[in-house]
Amino acid sequence: MSPLARTRLGAVHYLNVRPLVYGLGDDARFDLRFDPPSRCAVLLRDGEIDLGMIPSIEYARGDDYRIVPGLSISSLGEVASVALFSKVPVERIRTIAADTSSRTSAALLQILCARRFGIVPQFKPMAPSAGDMLAACDAALIIGDPALFLDHDAMGVLKIDLGAEWQALTGLPFVWAMWVGRAGAVDADVTRRLQRARHEGVQHTDEIAAEYSRGDAHRIAIGRRYLRDNMRYGLGELEQAAIAAYYREAAALGLAPAVGTTRFFDQ
C-alpha cells in the first residue's frame, strides 16, 4: 500500500463499535464511514472499502478474505444487543420477524432454533421496528442499538439473549463481527494502528457512551454498563475456537460454506 493512500474503513453504526474506532475519525490515514452490518459486508464485497467491520458469517462467504488479528466485537454470555423478543414462550414460536441488518445474528438464531430450542419457525425479513415486527409475527430478532435500548418489560414480551443461549449451547463466547479485508488490503502499520485504537477505546468507554447518547441519562447508563460488562474486543484463542464452532454449525445447516483455517493479516 502506498504511504500516501488512505485506508477506507467501513464500521457498523452501533454503539458497540465505537471503542474499536476511537480516534480513527481524526486520523488522516483513514476514511471512516458507518453503516448497518449487512451494508458493510456489501461495501467490502464490492471493493468500496478496504476493511469492513463485517458480520462474522460474511468471512465464510467471502473471497480471499483476511482478518485483522486481535480485534473483534464479541461477548461471553449475555450480549444485551442481540435478542429474540417474543410474545409467546420459545417452544410456541412459529413465526419470527428477522432484522435485516445482520446476517450473522440471523444464522445464529437458526442454529439455536435447531440445536437448542427445538423449533422450526418461519422467518420473515423485516426492518428493525419492534412494534411492526411483533404485530406481524410471534417473535422478532432485533440487533444493535434498537435491541439494547428496547424496554421489553414495558412491551410485555420476553427477551431471549442470543449470546447467552450460544454460551449455554457451546460454553464459548460469540464473535459478532471482525475487521476483514482482502489479502494485501492493509499492512502491518494499519493493523497496529487499529489495535492501538482498541486499546485506547476500551479505556474511555464511559466517555464514549456519554457522547454517543447525547445527554440522555437513561441511555448513557445503559450504554456504559453495556460497553463495560457485555462487550469484549479481543480475538484470542477462545474467540477463534468460537468462530470455528459457529462456522461448523452454520455449514451443517447449509447456512454458509465450510471454512477451513481462518487467515489473518500479518502483524
Q: What is the pLDDT of residues 114-151, one digit of tens each?
A: 999 999 999 999 988 999 999 999 999 999 999 999 99
Residue 265 lies in a domain: no
Instruction: State how far the Cα of 160 lies from the Cα of 164, in Å rounded to an integer.
Output: 8
| Model confidence at 1: pLDDT above 60 | no
Are 150 and 108 in the same domain?
yes
Residues contacting residue 260 through CB under 8 Å, at least 6 positions apart: none
What is the H or E stretch that residue 66 is in?
A: strand 65-67
How far is residue 58 from each of residues 17, 42, 223, 231, 257, measured CA to CA in Å? Answer: 17, 9, 27, 20, 10
For the segment 26-49, the average pLDDT, to the nearest whole number, is 95
* Contact assessment for residue 233 and residue 70, using Cβ atoms and an 8 Å cutoff: no
pLDDT of residue 38: 87
pLDDT of residue 160: 98
pLDDT of residue 266: 86
Residue 208: CATH number of its domain: 3.40.190.10
Q: How many domains is the chain built from?
A: 2
pLDDT tens per residue across span 213-240: 998 999 999 999 999 999 999 999 999 9
Are 25 and 89 in the same domain?
no
Residue 263 lies in a domain: no
Residue 262 lies in a domain: no
Q: Which of 170, 193, 219 is the last residue of a domain?
A: 170
| Model confidence at 3: pLDDT above 60 | no
Q: Which of 129, 144, 170 is the last residue of a domain?
A: 170
Are 163 and 243 in the same domain?
no
| Model confidence at 102: pLDDT above 80 | no
pLDDT of residue 4: 59
Give the position of cell 500479518: 266
Are 124 and 185 in the same domain?
no
Q: Which of 137, 170, 203 is the last residue of a domain?
A: 170
| Model confidence at 73: pLDDT above 80 | yes
For the segment 100-105, the average pLDDT, to the nearest whole number, is 87
Instruction: State how far the Cα of 250 lies from the Cα of 163, in Å rounded to an integer.
Output: 16
pLDDT of residue 128: 87
Domain range spanning residue 128? 82-170
Residue 246 lies in a domain: yes
Residue 261 lies in a domain: no
Are 87 and 160 in the same domain?
yes
Are 147 and 193 in the same domain?
no
7 DSSP assignment: E
What is the H or E stretch that residue 190 is in?
A: helix 188-201
